Amino acid sequence: MGCAGTEPLAELLLVLSVIAGLAVIAALSYIPVAREVCTEERRRTRTERDAFAGFAGRIASIEEANTTPSRVDGGTLLAQSAPDDGALREVRRAYQETVMGVDHFAEEYDESLAEHMAAEFDESLAVAVCGGQTFSPQMRRALVQQGTEARDRRSLLLRALDRELESLSTATETLTEVEESLSEIESRPQIERSFEWLSSSWDRLRALRAECSSLVEWRQEAIHSETLARGPRGRSSLHSYLYQSLPVNHPVLADTATTLDRLERVERGVVDGLTRRV
């Protein structure tokens, strides 16, 4: 009888452990997707950073045309009305093969050379490259400078994405521990819920709530600290830009709210048990 009775108990414990694991997975519904999104954005940003660096390097090595730019109203133009030279065609080719050559360009931008360059560089420079006729020394300096600046913007964004991934990892660890603790409390059979156990569980739940509250405060500080870290090309704030494909812009706060809802339900059960034993 003793040996036979252990099999149903073992099966019950297995079922409870599976249910607890599923509860943790269900609670963290947004953060895992957010990590995938952030990881892919980091890969794309790194690719674009290297592409702009490659473009600036290629432009620096191009010899400008040996002509004198024309003047209008006392100002020197970036391009003049001379036959299109090979150097300017090489500029366009370099942009297409580096910046527009990244594997995600069509999916994320799907723009012509003139449109994309106007968004990344000065519009007048894009007009000179796409509609001008001479590659001047001024144009070369401007292209190298703005290509380098575009590279540096990606470098700043990469650092912000690294911080975001670290933040998501920390939140995952914290919420997973909280959810596992809640599952452990919930799985306790009613017959084994003594007054001492219920009292101890109440104190434990208070500590878990404090952890969640600290996570919310910490995350909000992280969000506000990134208000100046914008997506590429001056788009919205980092989190709005990064998680625009998700139902929520703040996945950590959303998953923490779900965990807090579950924690409140467990608290009510413990309070109910305590009142029945007083």
Render 3-37 in DSSP notation, one character per residue.
HHHHHHHHHHHHHHHHHHHHHHHHH-SSHHHHHHH
Angle between helices 137-186 and 31-60 (to 10 degrees): 170
* Percent of all residues in the chain with a pLDDT value above 90, rounded to a whole number: 65
**Residues 81-110: pLDDT tens digits?**
444 568 899 999 999 999 999 999 999 999
Residue 65 belongs to a domain: yes
Q: What is the mean pLDDT of residues 199-208?
A: 96
Q: Report how far residue 96's alpha carbon sits from residue 71's, in angstroms, rounded to the nearest whole number.
A: 30
Q: Which of 60-69, 70-79, 82-91, 188-197 shows the lowest mean pLDDT across its residues?
A: 70-79
Residue 18 belongs to a domain: no
Q: What is the DSSP string of 40-109?
A: HHHHHHHHHHHHHHHHHHHHHTSPPPS-PPPEETTEE-SS-SSPPPHHHHHHHHHHHHTTTTSTTHHHHT
Do residues 22 and 186 touch, judged by C-beta distance below 8 A? no
Taking 70 as the threshold, does the pLDDT of residue 68 lie above it?
no
Domain holding 196, by residue range, is 24-277
Cα 228 to the chain's mean position, in Å? Answer: 15
Residue 184 belongs to a domain: yes
Q: Report how far residue 271's alpha carbon sits from residue 257's, in angstroms, rounded to the nearest whole number.
A: 21
Residue 10 belongs to a domain: no
Residue 2 belongs to a domain: no
Residue 240: per-residue pLDDT: 85
Residue 12 belongs to a domain: no
Taking 60 as the threshold, does the pLDDT of residue 75 lie above it?
no
Domain count, the chain: 1
Residue 105 belongs to a domain: yes
Residue 26: per-residue pLDDT: 58
pTM of the model: 0.79
Residue 17 belongs to a domain: no
Q: Which of 190, 51, 162 is nearest to 116 (CA)?
A: 51
Two tokens at 129? 């490259």
**Residues 134-193: pLDDT tens digits?**
888 999 999 999 999 999 999 999 999 999 999 999 999 999 999 999 999 999 988 889
